[in-house]
C-alpha cells in the first residue's frame, strides 16, 4: 500500500488560502493609509516617512499589547468583527499617555486553522480601530499554527507607533498637590479581567451569552464583546487645547496600579468612590462572584477608561469640551502630598 503524499496543507497550514487573503488585507488596510505611508501591507517591511510632521525634536513612542482571553468570548459567540478594535485600542491607548499622535499599527494573528471569514472579520476590525485612532494599518502577520491552538482558537496582538514633540511629553515633575483628576468613562470591561469575568459569569454562574443577564440592557455576549473605547482623538485635544498635565490608561490592575505610573514619588492620588457611574456589568460580577471591592479595584477599570490630570483652573473648560464632544467625564479626585500611590475613599456625589 502506497502511503499518501504528505503536504503542508494536510498538516494544517493552507498557504494558498493565506496568499489569497493578502490582496484583501491590503485593500482593507489601504483605507487607513496616511500621506507618510510609503509601502504597507505585502512587502517584507512597512516603509513610513517621518518628514513633514513639522516637529523640531520628534520622539517616537511605541507600544504593544493583545486582546487576551476576551478572544474566548469571540470564539464562543462566533463573532470576530470587534476584537480587532480592542487590539488597536489596547496599544494606542497606551502611547497617547505620552501625548503621542498614533502613526501606524501592525498586527499579529496566531491561529490553529485559517478560515477566510474569520480572518477577514478580524482584519476589518483592526482597520476600523486604526481609523478611529487616526493610525495607518501598515502590515501584520498571520501565522498558522496547528497543534498550538485548539479548534477555532486564535491569539491577536498588536504594535503601535506614535510621534510627539519632545517638549510636549508629559513631565511628572509638573504635577502639584491640588491638581484635579478627571475620569473619562469606559463603556464596560474593555479588554481586561476576562479570566475572572468568565469564571464568575459563565463557568460558575451558569449565565448564557445569548441571554440578557440581570441589570444589562443587552445580552451577556453583546455586553462582553463591546469593543474597548479608543481615546486617541479626545486625549490629543485635551493635551493640545486644555493643558492636560498627565494621562493614565486604566487597564489591567485598575486605578490603583495604573494611576501611580504617571505620578512623581512625592505625590499620591485621592479618588472618591461614587463620583462616577459604574456600569452594571461590574456590579453583576461583584455580586455573582462575591468579589471583594479591593479585588474589583485591582482587576477592572470599574467604569473609568482614562484618568487625566489638570491644574484646577483648566478643569472647567476641559469638562465643557468633553461634554460637548459626548465623552462622559467626571471629577473623581485630586493629588495630595505623600508617597506615590492611590487611595480610594467612599462617598461623594458625581461632579
Phi/psi at 304 (5° precision):
-120, 115
pLDDT greater than 90 at residue 52: no
**Domain for residue 1, yes or no?**
no
5 located within any domain: no
Mean pLDDT in residue range 83-102 = 97
pLDDT of residue 238: 98
Please indicate, yes or no, whether residues 124 and 243 belong to a single structural domain of this protein: no
Shared domain for 181 and 265, answered yes or no, is: yes
216-273 pLDDT per residue, tens: 999 999 999 999 999 999 999 999 999 999 999 999 999 999 999 999 999 999 999 9
Q: Give percent of the chain above pLDDT 70.
A: 93
Cβ proximity of 268 and 176 under 8 Å: no
What letter would DSSP give residue 113?
A: S
Domain span holding position 119: 15-168
Tell me, yes or no, whether 184 lies in a domain: yes
Q: Are residues 188 and 330 in the same domain?
A: yes
The count of structural domains within the chain is: 2
Does residue 7 register a pLDDT over 70? no
Residues 45 and 80 reside in one and the same domain: yes
Does residue 164 share a domain with residue 122?
A: yes
Q: Which among 127, 142, 168 is the end of a domain? A: 168
- Do 162 and 262 lie in one domain? The reply is no
Closest of 310, 292, 295 to residue 257, by C-alpha: 295
Grid coordinates given for 18 = 493565506
- Taking the alpha carbons at both ends of the chain, their separation in whole angstroms is 79
My answer on whether 276 and 183 are in the same domain is yes
Exposure string of 309-348, with b = 16+ CB inside 10 Å and e = fewer, is bbbeebbeebbebbeeeebbbbbbbbbeeeebebebeeee
Give me the percent of the chain exceeding a pLDDT of 90: 77
pLDDT digits 0-9 by tens, 26-47:
777 777 777 577 666 777 777 7
77, 228, 256, 297, 341 from 273: Cα distances, Å: 34, 23, 12, 11, 16
**pLDDT number for residue 349:** 45
Residues 239 and 306 in one domain: yes
Single residue among 133, 168, 203 that ends a domain in this structure: 168
Q: Are the C-beta atoms of residues 271 and 332 closer than 8 Å to each other?
A: yes
CB atoms within 10 A of CB 19: 9
Q: Do 124 and 178 have their domain in common?
A: no
| Grid cell in block for residue 152 | 477555532
Same domain flag for 159 and 235: no
| Segment 61-65 mean pLDDT | 95
128, 237: one domain: no
Least confident of 143-147, 181-185, 194-198, 236-240: 143-147
Check which CATH number belongs to the domain holding 100 and give it.
3.30.1330.10
Stretch 302-319: mean pLDDT: 98
Q: How far is CA 43 from CA 50, 136, 144, 342, in A?
A: 19, 15, 19, 46
List C-alpha distances in Å: 244 to 179, 240, 262, 273: 10, 8, 12, 22
Q: Are residues 135 and 235 in the same domain?
A: no
| Contact of 340 with 270, CB cutoff 8 Å | no
Using the predicted structure, report yes or no on whether residue 299 has a pLDDT greater than 60: yes
Q: Is 60 exceeded by the pLDDT of residue 2?
A: no
Question: pTM for the complete prediction?
Answer: 0.91
Of 168, 190, 211, the domain-final residue: 168
CATH of the domain at 271: 3.90.650.10
Mean residue pLDDT across the chain: 91
Query: What Rg value do the Cα atoms of the chain yield, rounded?
Result: 22
Minimal CA–CA distance to 182: which of 13, 92, 308, 335? 308
pLDDT: which is higher, 281 or 6: 281
Which position has the higher pLDDT, 337 or 35? 337
116-165 confidence digits (pLDDT tens): 999 999 999 999 999 999 999 998 999 999 989 988 999 999 999 999 99
What does the angle CA 259 – CA 293 – CA 178 come to, to the nearest 5 degrees? 35
Quickly list H helices, 78-138: 83-95, 116-133
Amino acid at each position: 500500500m502506497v502511503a499518501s503524499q504528505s503536504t503542508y496543507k494536510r498538516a494544517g497550514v493552507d498557504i494558498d488560502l493565506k496568499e489569497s487573503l493578502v490582496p484583501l488585507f491590503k485593500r482593507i488596510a489601504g483605507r487607513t493609509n496616511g500621506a507618510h505611508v510609503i509601502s504597507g501591507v505585502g512587502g517584507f517591511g512597512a516603509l513610513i516617512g517621518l518628514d513633514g510632521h513639522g516637529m523640531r525634536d520628534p520622539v517616537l513612542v511605541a507600544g504593544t499589547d493583545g486582546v487576551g482571553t476576551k478572544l474566548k468570548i469571540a470564539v464562543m459567540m462566533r463573532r470576530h468583527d470587534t476584537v480587532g478594535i480592542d487590539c488597536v485600542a489596547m496599544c494606542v491607548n497606551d502611547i497617547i499617555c505620552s501625548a503621542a499622535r498614533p502613526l501606524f499599527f501592525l498586527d499579529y494573528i496566531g491561529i490553529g486553522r485559517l478560515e477566510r471569514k474569520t480572518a477577514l472579520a478580524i482584519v476589518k476590525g483592526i482597520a476600523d480601530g486604526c481609523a478611529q485612532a487616526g493610525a495607518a494599518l501598515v502590515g501584520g502577520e498571520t501565522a498558522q499554527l496547528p497543534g498550538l491552538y485548539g479548534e477555532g482558537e486564535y491569539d491577536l496582538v498588536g504594535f503601535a507607533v506614535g510621534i510627539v514633540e519632545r517638549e510636549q511629553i508629559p513631565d511628572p515633575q509638573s504635577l502639584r498637590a491640588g491638581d484635579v483628576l478627571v475620569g473619562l468613562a469606559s463603556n464596560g470591561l474593555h479588554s481586561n479581567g476576562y479570566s475572572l469575568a468568565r469564571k464568575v459569569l459563565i463557568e460558575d454562574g451558569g449565565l448564557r451569552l445569548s441571554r440578557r443577564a440581570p441589570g444589562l440592557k443587552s445580552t451577556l455576549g453583546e455586553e462582553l464583546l463591546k469593543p474597548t473605547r479608543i481615546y486617541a482623538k479626545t486625549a490629543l485635544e485635551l493635551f493640545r487645547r486644555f493643558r492636560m498635565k498627565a494621562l493614565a490608561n486604566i487597564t489591567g490592575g485598575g486605578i490603583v496600579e495604573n494611576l501611580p505610573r504617571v505620578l512623581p514619588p512625592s505625590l499620591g492620588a485621592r479618588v472618591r468612590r461614587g463620583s462616577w457611574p459604574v456600569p452594571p456589568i461590574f456590579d453583576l460580577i461583584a455580586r455573582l462572584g462575591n468579589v471583594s471591592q479591593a479585588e474589583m479595584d485591582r482587576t477592572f477599570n470599574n467604569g473609568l477608561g482614562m484618568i487625566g490630570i489638570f491644574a484646577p483652573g483648566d478643569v472647567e473648560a476641559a469638562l465643557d469640551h468633553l461634554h460637548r464632544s459626548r465623552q462622559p467625564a467626571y471629577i473623581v479626585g485630586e493629588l495630595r502630598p505623600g508617597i506615590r500611590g492611590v487611595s480610594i475613599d467612599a462617598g461623594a456625589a458625581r461632579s
